[in-house]
Amino acid sequence: MNSKKSSQSVTKIASEVLRDPSSSQISKSLAGSVLSQANTQNQTSDQMERIASKALQSDKYNETTKTLAGSVLSQSNGK
């Protein structure tokens, strides 16, 4: 069971990303993962962990995407 939850400030960013038609697909995927973990016991999937990790390591993603990626990874149970 995962007791980690998305913070209110990050869920707000995620919501804005999902409403913005110019947001990248990876940003929207990360935003969806963040929102799915707000006020639930949902856990980050292995696939989303890999996507988030790659986003954080890449220079091509902006600060918003990296914020979402960091939130997704912080909510994983790790291995």
Cα distance between residue 34 and residue 11, in whole Å: 6
What pLDDT was estimated at residue 43? 76
Q: What is the pLDDT of residue 25?
A: 95
pTM to 2 decimal places:
0.86
End-to-end CA distance of the chain: 14
**Using an 8 Å Cβ cutoff, are 50 and 29 in contact?**
no
Let me know if 49 is exposed, middle or buried by CB neighbors in 10 A (0-12, 13-18, 19+): buried
Cα–Cα distance between 12 and 57 in angstroms, integer?
23
**Which residues of the chain fall short of a pLDDT of 70?**
1-6, 78-79
